[in-house]
Chains A and B, each alone.
Chain A
Amino acid sequence: MSGELSIPQAVIAPELAWVGLAILLPLLSSVVCALCGALRVKNKLPAIVTALALAISFVIIVRAYFAYAGPVEVPIFQWMSFEWGSGGRFQSFTANCSLYIDSLTLYWMLFVTGLGTLITVYASEYMESDVGGGYSRFFFGISIFLFAMSALVLGDNLAMLYLGWEGVGLASYLLVGYNYDRPSAVAAAKKAFIMNRIGDLGLALGIFMLWANYGTIQYSELFAAMKNGGQTAVDWHLSVIPFLLMLGAFGKSAQIPLFTWLPDAMEGPTPVSALIHAATMVTAGVYLIARLYPFFELHPEALATIAWIGCSTALLAATIGMMQYDIKRVFAYSTISQLGYMFLGLGVGTSFGACYHVLTHAFFKALLFLTAGAIMHGFAGQLDLRKLSGLRHLAGWRIVSWTMFVGCLWLSAFPYTAAFFSKDAILLQALTSARADFRFLGWMGLFTAALTAYYTFRVWFRVCAGPLHFEGGNEGHGDHDEHDKHAAHAAPAAFHPHAPGWAIKGVLLILALGALVVGVPAYKAVFLHETNWVQEMIAHSSAYQGSGLGSGLGSGLGLGDAGHAGPVSHGDAHTPTVLGMDAHTGLTVVGSTASIGGILVAWFFHLRSRKSADQLRAALARRWWLGWIPTAMENKWYVDELYHYLFRLPLWFGSQILSFGDKHFLDGVLVDGMAKLPLALGRVFRPLYSGALQGYAVTMAGGVALVLAWVSWVWLRGMH
């Protein structure tokens, strides 16, 4: 068993308070941006300040990484904490502004701040048409986003996590609804916030329940308490907690059943999408589960649920992504799908695979969104992949095309790309699991990988390859706003896209390079048989599977008894087999086949013979038992509509009824009726009174009389 690796007790280290600057700096930059907005600054100052703040945060995290020696707790100031009674456990509530720094935190913060900086630099050019207008507001939102995400990751307790959790919700609300005069953007922002709120409620309840059972919500104390087992007598309490936390994670990370907000969230400017999809927000759910992994390990049934939901989401989102025409929408569904893989990884017991996939995904997804943004920026909002073709032949667009190609290769997990290894780690764990249903999920994941390769390259072959032709969108972007618009309307052929500048291209190149670099740990592991750096980082944090708390469960999950010291320990003698081959080789073969097969299919239908795609669709449509499938996929399996009719509409009707009842029954009949009673009485006593206030006088007199009667009755009762 792998019980030897337990989480080291965190040391209190106030001298590390400078790491807190990583939270403070984005907050400060948000204040500066707000001031810029108030003073109507008409230059790029907000972007510069934000980028600088984030870059310094990144440097701070890098410094912290090199100074790291073991888990530490850094108290900063007291936030919500108090005690009562004797002040012992269960008689105090502590939620301070303190940091918990272990390797998982650092790992996460490295890419959050790093990618955040890059995306900000990109956005400084992308948003330049709004300078003096919404520019400050935009970077205010970005700063809040990074502030919240840093608080979420660095906080030493679940209340801090909750603060960040809601904070990223707020930031996404502000940024998705950035173009607030567009009703669809407002609706998308609202939807994102509310769906997240549903998850947040689960998280909040989970936090309360953790407190009720362990008497603390600080990580280090929680882990210590978990070692001693739960404190409660009620078993169902404990087993419900992971499901509540899961609801929170699924809301934030867009999994079934709370995934529908994420595709709509692309209403925001593209850098926001990149930020949401890659670095911040959606990875928060994975972080939550990874952070509390020891706790989840105590509940195998919860982990199994995570695996099932993750894998189902991956498949569902991939099928939807296959039939979308909007480039950003395809990428949005691919995010949901990839997040599904991460949850699959967590569920089947490889937190390493999940966290590694978060990293690789962060890079290639940021890259993909930013290339899509560059296209949108240059082509006046055009994102329909049917109206763009062969961009790689267009001068000034080569870098965009080829960096997009890199992103697509990574997304489709092409053999020996970084994402191939991270996905591999997850699927390997699933396929070699002792549980049959996990092995099934592994195959399902492989099937989804093929679909992923198909829909990814469907985009690339359509947009970047093939004969050159394009139409401009109808939306102004960039400095040739009006000109573009008129050109687009007058004659599509006369449309002049404007190629991206160096802030955009530079960031794309750096991201492409980054996507390559994050593969290095895996290459080292495969070719040099060194330990994977990511695995090292995860293994020394609370996210390590079999971290000593859940010992005895490993066999049930196929963690320990399958002979894995670690999920990608190559050359292990007891490695189970996949398709009769050594598991690792087998998976490499099958995974590569899935990826390349998908790409080939996409090549055939979307580059070699684009007509055949339409013919296939038409052929499918002719068969009643197949024809509905593409339509349903195009319409996102009608999940939005389902929610609308299942939840929103009945609630809305109920509210109308309640509102009517409140006004006309509760107030109208009961209250006013009561008030009329004295009037009726007053009519009886009319000879005695005169004047307009008689009704009220009688009310008062009657009331006093009633009260007196009641008092005497109470008194009589009290006497004996």
Chain B
Amino acid sequence: MELIWLSIIVPLITACVIAVGPSKNARTTAFVGSLLSLAALTLFAWNFPAWKNGQHFPMVAGADWVSGAGVSLSVGFDTVSLLLALLTAFLMPLCIAGSFTAINDRVKEFYGWFLVLGSSILLAFAARDAILFYIGYEFTLVPMTLIVAIYGGTERRIAAIKMFLYTFLGSMFMLAALLYVGWEHRLASGAWNFDIDALTATAVRLPIATQYWLFAALMIGFAVKVPLFPLHTWLPLAHDQAPTAGSVILASALLKLGTYGNYRFALPMAPAGGAELMNVVAVLSIIAIIYASLICWVQTDAKKLIAYSSVSHLGLCMLGLFALNPIGAEGAVFYMVNHGISTGALFLCVGMFYERYHTKDTDVLGGLAKRMPVWACFMVFFTLASIGLPGLNGFVGEFLCLGGTFIAEHDSQTGYPGVLGPWYAVVAGLGLIFAAMYLLILLGKIVWGPLREPASHASHASHGETHSASSTLPIDLGFREIAILMPLAISCLWLGLQPKPMLDAIRPCAERMLVNYPAQVERVLAESAATAQVTAPITSSETSSNSQ
């Protein structure tokens, strides 16, 4: 409990220290601060009692904050939120170390805001109170917007404003829905309370029609963040313009707030709505998978390509989640963590050559394996992890998400009926082929092939001069950069070969999240069968008798 708060507060304190300290110390201070935060969280995770038994939030506690409104400062983790928080805390020091040479102006502000960003993401994952969650969730926007707007590329202001407004508007729906549930809770129990468990317990008792709208509202809020097609257009622009560290944390942690929100709020609170709308979300996810991966194919900007690939990958994650069975849900949570690792690493890799060449245009740049063999090894490795090569981390999540979708049939024998099934998996599976296609094309352009460097860079290099910014950088990766990528590579390999402990940790949470679904999906299926019975009485009498 104290450790949780420590991991959230330490970055904030560090940010304050940076603000008052000299700017030449900012980097180191930030790095140490983020390491301390990670250490606190790791220590907490080390002693976390619920890894194996799947207890529900064993460490919940917290002072009342706004007691009259039932808002409390309670934080706590289940294994899913703990994994995501660990991911965030793990990436923070790497991102900060990755910015040492990339950020040269307004250094203090950058690291300060970056730490605030990390802190608020951790708060959102740790929160056990819906309002506290909302505060963390929403506050991420402020530092993120500033990071994009100040340190981004040429269109940074448009990107920042679009990102802010878009996600802000989306989360209004979510807030409204949460407030509504809180109010219902007050009607039912007589007092305000925004504890997530209490809200969930209230919400599942709401009438079906209400749950339907509740689900839709929560879903819209989180779908913007995921981002789900067609609400994704803010993301490629933001990624394109953000500095490397911003892109990494955006893809790896911020987007996970969207999927986590679905996992924590939308699905458990409104099972009746979720069961009704699962096919809608699944179809949107599949569209996202195919649509985004086709767009990836024709991107010439390496960062935009990876941004769109995030849309595609998270589509698969959402699909797994909305398969509404343990295989899919477990795969989806696993995928959240692994997408964070491999996509974050890819953004870091792209950042590393961007620092050297000041372009991410794959038409200008190519064949870097000749110039930067070490970098090329990492790039190929993380690309393969992202493609979902078995033995690396991406595969496990992908395989389980697709498998979960596949078996989510109405007559599934898993105890978890669904309305998806093989056809959904077939179409989504095309995404795997496309993913291999666009990522290997990216590799083929920038890593393999004859060496192509931007004209300015080549001439400078041949005269023995280098750009001012790249003067501090070796031709290939230096020790610092290798040290950044190494932990990510190791976790890719480890999670790919030994996913079992994590899967075991996720399973009870996934099952608890789905506890109301088998009955609700049965109900939806029975209703649709009844509708069919009205239209075609002879054929459907069989199906309804089967389902009983």
Q: Which residues of A approach B to under 8 Å, CB–CB?
A: 38, 77-82, 84-85, 90-91, 93, 159, 162-163, 165-167, 170, 173, 177, 180-181, 183, 186-187, 189-190, 193-194, 197-198, 200-201, 204-205, 208-209, 211-212, 215, 231, 233-234, 237, 651-652, 654-656, 658-659, 662, 666-667, 670-671, 675, 696, 699-700, 703-704, 707-708, 710-711, 714-715, 717-718
Contact between B422 and A79, CB atoms less than 8 A apart: no
CB nearest to A653 among chain B residues? B298
Cα distance, A505 to B330, chains bound together (Å): 54
Kindly identify which residue among B217, B291, B399 contacts A204, using a CB–CB cutoff of 8 Å. Answer: B399
Kindly identify which residue among A79, A177, A710, A715 contacts B500, using a CB–CB cutoff of 8 Å. Answer: A79
Q: Does B135 sit at the interface, judged by CB under 8 A?
A: no
Contact between B214 and A714, CB atoms less than 8 A apart: yes
Contact between A91 and B414, CB atoms less than 8 A apart: yes
Q: From residue A262, how far is it (CB to closest CB) to chain B in Å? A: 18
Residues of A within 8 A of B230 (CB): 666, 670
Q: Does B415 sit at the interface, judged by CB under 8 A?
A: yes
CB nearest to A164 among chain B residues? B390
Q: Does B133 sit at the interface, judged by CB under 8 A?
A: no
Q: Does B346 sit at the interface, judged by CB under 8 A?
A: no
Residues of B within 8 A of A204 (CB): 399, 402, 429, 432
CB nearest to B176 among chain A residues? A707
Q: From residue B438, how far is it (CB to closest CB) to chain A in Å? A: 9
Q: List 27 A-B contacts (CB under 8 A).
A: A79-B497, A82-B326, A82-B503, A84-B511, A90-B413, A91-B414, A163-B390, A163-B391, A167-B390, A177-B448, A181-B448, A183-B449, A201-B433, A205-B422, A208-B422, A212-B413, A233-B411, A655-B295, A659-B294, A659-B295, A659-B299, A666-B230, A675-B162, A707-B173, A707-B176, A710-B217, A715-B180
Residues of A within 8 A of B177 (CB): 711
Given A655-B294, A708-B176, A711-B176: A186 and B444 interface contact (C-beta under 8 Å): yes
Given A198-B433, A201-B432, A211-B407: A190 and B441 interface contact (C-beta under 8 Å): yes
With most chain A CB atoms within 10 A of its CB, the pick from B327, B369, B448 is B448
Contact between A667 and B210, CB atoms less than 8 A apart: no
Residues of B within 8 A of A180 (CB): 367, 369, 447-449
Cα distance, A165 to B162, chains bound together (Å): 44
CB nearest to A177 among chain B residues? B448
Contact between B444 and A187, CB atoms less than 8 A apart: yes
CB nearest to B169 among chain A residues? A703
Q: From residue B160, how far is it (CB to closest CB) to chain A in Å? A: 12
Q: Does B412 sit at the interface, judged by CB under 8 A?
A: yes
Cα distance, A172 to B68, chains bound together (Å): 65
Cα distance, A212 to B409, chains bound together (Å): 10
Given A186-B449, A707-B172, A707-B173: A209 and B422 interface contact (C-beta under 8 Å): yes
Kindly identify which residue among A170, A187, A205 contacts B384, using a CB–CB cutoff of 8 Å. Answer: A170
Contact between B500 and A205, CB atoms less than 8 A apart: no
Contact between B389 and A166, CB atoms less than 8 A apart: yes
Cα distance, A208 to B390, chains bound together (Å): 16
Q: Count the A-B residue pairs with Cβ separation under 8 angstroms: how many?
A: 188
Residues of B within 8 A of A80 (CB): 396, 399-400, 499-500, 503
With most chain B CB atoms within 10 A of its CB, the pick from A189, A204, A233 is A204
Q: Does B494 sit at the interface, judged by CB under 8 A?
A: no
Cα distance, A193 to B172, chains bound together (Å): 45
Contact between B406 and A212, CB atoms less than 8 A apart: yes
Cα distance, A173 to B437, chains bound together (Å): 13
Cα distance, A190 to B441, chains bound together (Å): 7
Tell me the residues in window 422-471 of chain B with beta carbons closer than 8 Å to chain A beta carbons.
422, 425-426, 429-430, 432-433, 436-437, 440-441, 444, 447-451
Residues of B within 8 A of A651 (CB): 294, 297
Contact between B504 and A82, CB atoms less than 8 A apart: yes
CB nearest to B412 among chain A residues? A212
Cα distance, A426 to B157, chains bound together (Å): 70
Tell me the residues in window 79-106 of chain B with beta carbons closer than 8 Å to chain A beta carbons.
none
Kindly identify which residue among B214, B389, B504, B511 contacts A170, using a CB–CB cutoff of 8 Å. Answer: B389
- What 10 pairs between A and B have smallest CB-CB spacing? A718-B210, A667-B233, A163-B390, A208-B406, A90-B413, A180-B448, A84-B326, A655-B294, A707-B176, A186-B448
Contact between B295 and A710, CB atoms less than 8 A apart: no
Residues of A within 8 A of B168 (CB): 700
Q: Does B487 sit at the interface, judged by CB under 8 A?
A: no
Q: Does B166 sit at the interface, judged by CB under 8 A?
A: yes
Residues of A within 8 A of B450 (CB): 181, 183
Tell me the residues in window 290-316 of chain B with beta carbons closer than 8 Å to chain A beta carbons.
291, 294-295, 297-299
Tell me the residues in window 225-268 of chain B with beta carbons closer than 8 Å to chain A beta carbons.
230, 233-234, 237
Q: Which residues of B approach A to under 8 Å, CB–CB?
A: 161-162, 165-166, 168-169, 172-173, 175-177, 179-180, 183-184, 206-207, 209-210, 213-214, 217, 230, 233-234, 237, 291, 294-295, 297-299, 326-327, 330, 367, 369-370, 374, 384, 389-391, 395-396, 399-400, 402-403, 406-407, 409, 411-415, 422, 425-426, 429-430, 432-433, 436-437, 440-441, 444, 447-451, 497-500, 503-504, 507, 511
Q: From residue A691, how far is it (CB to closest CB) to chain B in Å? A: 15
Q: From residue A380, how far is it (CB to closest CB) to chain B in Å? A: 21
Interface of B is mostly: helix
Residues of B within 8 A of A699 (CB): 165, 169
Residues of B within 8 A of A77 (CB): 498
Residues of A within 8 A of B447 (CB): 180
Given A90-B414, A209-B406, A703-B169: A82 and B330 interface contact (C-beta under 8 Å): yes
Known contacts A193-B436, A205-B426; can you find 14 more A-B pairs with CB under 8 A? A80-B400, A81-B500, A85-B326, A167-B389, A190-B440, A205-B406, A208-B407, A211-B407, A212-B412, A655-B298, A659-B294, A710-B217, A718-B210, A718-B213
CB nearest to B390 among chain A residues? A163
Residues of A within 8 A of B327 (CB): 93
Residues of A within 8 A of B173 (CB): 707
Kindly identify which residue among B180, B422, B440, B449 contacts A193, using a CB–CB cutoff of 8 Å. Answer: B440
Residues of B within 8 A of A234 (CB): 411
Q: From residue A175, how far is it (CB to closest CB) to chain B in Å? A: 13
Contact between A194 and B214, CB atoms less than 8 A apart: no
Given A163-B390, A717-B209: A79 and B499 interface contact (C-beta under 8 Å): yes
Kindly identify which residue among B209, B367, B409 contacts A718, using a CB–CB cutoff of 8 Å. Answer: B209
Given A166-B390, A658-B295: A197 and B432 interface contact (C-beta under 8 Å): yes
CB nearest to B409 among chain A residues? A212
Kindly identify which residue among B184, B295, B436 contacts A662, using a CB–CB cutoff of 8 Å. Answer: B295
Residues of A within 8 A of B436 (CB): 193-194, 197
Cα distance, A160 to B70, chains bound together (Å): 52
Cα distance, A190 to B412, chains bound together (Å): 38
Q: From residue B315, how far is it (CB to closest CB) to chain A in Å? A: 14
Cα distance, A93 to B404, chains bound together (Å): 11
Q: From residue A693, how far is it (CB to closest CB) to chain B in Å? A: 10
Residues of B within 8 A of A237 (CB): 422
Cα distance, A181 to B232, chains bound together (Å): 37
Residues of A within 8 A of B390 (CB): 159, 162-163, 165-167
Q: From residue A523, how far is it (CB to closest CB) to chain B in Å? A: 41
Residues of B within 8 A of A233 (CB): 411
Contact between B449 and A181, CB atoms less than 8 A apart: yes
Residues of B within 8 A of A197 (CB): 432-433, 436-437
Q: From residue B499, how far is it (CB to closest CB) to chain A in Å? A: 6
Q: From residue B453, how far is it (CB to closest CB) to chain A in Å? A: 14
Kindly identify which residue among A90, A215, A231, A675 contacts B165, using a CB–CB cutoff of 8 Å. Answer: A675
Contact between B425 and A208, CB atoms less than 8 A apart: yes
CB nearest to A233 among chain B residues? B411
Residues of B within 8 A of A710 (CB): 176, 217
Residues of A within 8 A of B237 (CB): 667
Contact between B444 and A190, CB atoms less than 8 A apart: yes
Residues of A within 8 A of B422 (CB): 205, 208-209, 212, 237
Cα distance, A167 to B496, chains bound together (Å): 13
Q: From residue A301, how far is it (CB to closest CB) to chain B in Å? A: 19
Residues of B within 8 A of A667 (CB): 233, 237
Q: From residue A180, how far is it (CB to closest CB) to chain B in Å? A: 4
Q: From residue A231, how far is it (CB to closest CB) to chain B in Å? A: 7
